[in-house]
Structure 1
């Protein structure tokens, strides 16, 4: 078992720039500031996707920057820093000797370390998928094939190249704001390339992606203005019955992903937990419910991408084709 001192020096993930322009670890203050803000925004986006409870707490995202190129380290004991900053912010909510205990109770079920790891993996995979497909704005995925008991999807790009992707990251790609990575991508030049990587020692899993000037444009496009309205016929708060294929379930966010007309729509139960619908994963089904086009963070009306607050799921496949969700 590793002690605290050892864990403090284990690097789980890195976001870095490499090339002659940063070979001494130099990046001017303005660019460095923009990158750090961008990292904060990106990780919060994926943290909220993994567990919506993070939106209820104030916390800072600690980043250790060092030379050797321009490197932002994320340590294996990242959760300890998150809890520390969250507890500091919680001080404004609690008083007296009960402060520590009440704060700990608030955070004990969040699972900071696991959720952060999932968020960073999601970030890396979304970058890889976008680079492979050459876009972060085209939501319609046409050339693909489900493999390995429907737990992975094989994506084919316009050059005929293949990328094997865990199915849960496909929806995160489809719902990712097209400008999310712009602050990181804006400073990419011929002699300054972006690398995002993680090394999960506990699960023996490594992954990385490199973005250069050739693929930079994928991530520097503007957001909503040029993005088409997805399924405009699905009007907010209207009742719908959608026939499609359920491709994944996420207990943390209590959502499922429905493949519908070559798009993936996020669906969540009006009441209860998605575990009640585990028998419908990887099946063709009909989802009944209400269209939701409200921003789940701000409550503002949005029209670009609908979600469905479902009341019923009816599987239209035989039981022997259904697979376990959990």
Structure 2
């Protein structure tokens, strides 16, 4: 498989006395790169649920000066050969879905831009979740949503990004922000016409990204008996549906697991929402990290069988 020309699509950068001459300690560098990888993978999955099942790499290069990790994407590399690690068959299947013929650079740039939107929202509201959605404003034909802070001031971000952000874990940016210190500032940049659009996180803002008030079970390895690649038949209840990410929630033994259809749209599961049902499928634990099992399993669903009947509300 030939690799296309690569270009810079965005970066993660640390500036300050503790990042001079492009040098930081190994623990901080490792945390930053893992955190960047996790965040990009999360937003890649929001663009297409196929990314949850594929094993791929996100190429970066480390720059000089300040400590910089530059994200690279292909100029002419469509999703049939995304990044460096797709199997050809998996790539072809991905291209048949909602990503279409976008280049890897376009996909990665969109995910980096969504990370910026999340940072702007958290900085503006000083909250990493539970934002005020009752007093919102709209712009550009409802393409931009304005979220208010405690003073009634609004920050506008793409509505598409906000839908993705609303599904993100509270701790999604903890690894990259924990490297911020009194002598080290974080910048996230996305390439735009004529340069890079940057957003910063200062030491005073670090606490907003700390992931406090998270659910206790998010720290635990949930259901270790559900191993990656295992075929399962589980009884529980479908709790919600999200067409933008083509996923549904599955309440199982007091926890909500993410479910992605093996084929087709989640609309096929609408008759089973809020009902006891049996979900059959395959467990995946590689949704964000490439070589480390996720704490919370995801189910690639083959079949949903309702165990009761009831009137359903339209969540879509």
**Alpha-carbon distance, 1:63 to partner:** 1.1
**Alpha-carbon distance, 1:29 to partner:** 1.1
Q: Distance in 1 between matches of 2:264 and 2:68?
A: 43
Secondary structure at 1:17 match in 2: strand
1:290 aligns with 2:273: yes
**Alpha-carbon distance, 1:72 to partner:** 0.8
Q: Distance in 2 between matches of 1:314 and 1:105?
A: 31
**Alpha-carbon distance, 1:195 to partner:** 0.6
Q: Distance in 1 between matches of 2:259 and 2:157?
A: 21
| Matching residue within 151, 175, 180 for 1:188 | 180
Q: Distance in 2 between matches of 1:272 and 1:103?
A: 16
Secondary structure at 2:85 match in 1: helix
**Alpha-carbon distance, 1:148 to partner:** 2.9
**Alpha-carbon distance, 1:162 to partner:** 2.6
> What are structure 2's unaligned runs of at least 5 residues?
219-235, 249-257, 286-295, 300-305
Residue pair 2:60, 2:69 contacting (<8 A) in 1 also: yes
Structure 1 length-normalised TM: 0.63
Q: Distance in 2 between matches of 1:52 and 1:191?
A: 39
Instruction: Specify the alignment match of 1:65 in structure 2.
Output: 62
Q: Distance in 2 between matches of 1:37 and 1:184?
A: 8
Residue pair 1:288, 1:312 contacting (<8 A) in 2 also: no
Q: Distance in 2 between matches of 1:124 and 1:65?
A: 20
Structure 2 length-normalised TM: 0.65
Instruction: Specify the alignment match of 1:318 in structure 2.
Output: none
Q: Distance in 2 between matches of 1:225 and 1:116?
A: 31
| Matching residue within 91, 105, 108 for 2:92 | 105
Residue pair 2:13, 2:67 contacting (<8 A) in 1 also: yes
**Alpha-carbon distance, 1:182 to partner:** 0.8
Residue pair 1:65, 1:73 contacting (<8 A) in 2 also: yes
Q: How many residues align?
A: 256
Q: Distance in 1 between matches of 2:154 and 2:169?
A: 24
Residue pair 1:143, 1:157 contacting (<8 A) in 2 also: no
Q: Distance in 2 between matches of 1:301 and 1:249?
A: 17
Aligned CA distance change for structure 1 residues 21 and 14 (closer, same or farther; 3 Å): same
Instruction: Specify the alignment match of 1:77 in structure 2.
Output: 74
Residue pair 2:260, 2:298 contacting (<8 A) in 1 also: no
Residue pair 2:126, 2:208 contacting (<8 A) in 1 also: yes
1:221 aligns with 2:185: no
Instruction: Specify the alignment match of 1:22 in structure 2.
Output: 19
**Alpha-carbon distance, 1:216 to partner:** 0.3
**Alpha-carbon distance, 1:291 to partner:** 3.8
Greater share of residues in helix: 1
| Matching residue within 198, 219, 229 for 1:208 | 198
Choose 25-34 or 291-300, whichever is displaced more.
Answer: 291-300
Cα RMSD after superposing both structures: 4.4
Residues 132-168 of structure 1 show CA distances to partners (whole Å, capped at 9, x for unaligned) of: 1111132553432223322222222123433112111
1:38 aligns with 2:35: yes
Residue pair 1:35, 1:184 contacting (<8 A) in 2 also: yes
Residue pair 2:35, 2:173 contacting (<8 A) in 1 also: yes
Secondary structure at 2:22 match in 1: coil
**Alpha-carbon distance, 1:183 to partner:** 0.9
Aligned CA distance change for structure 1 residues 270 and 40 (closer, same or farther; 3 Å): closer
Secondary structure at 1:86 match in 2: coil
Aligned CA distance change for structure 1 residues 270 and 51 (closer, same or farther; 3 Å): closer
1:132 aligns with 2:124: yes
Instruction: Specify the alignment match of 2:222 in structure 1.
Output: none
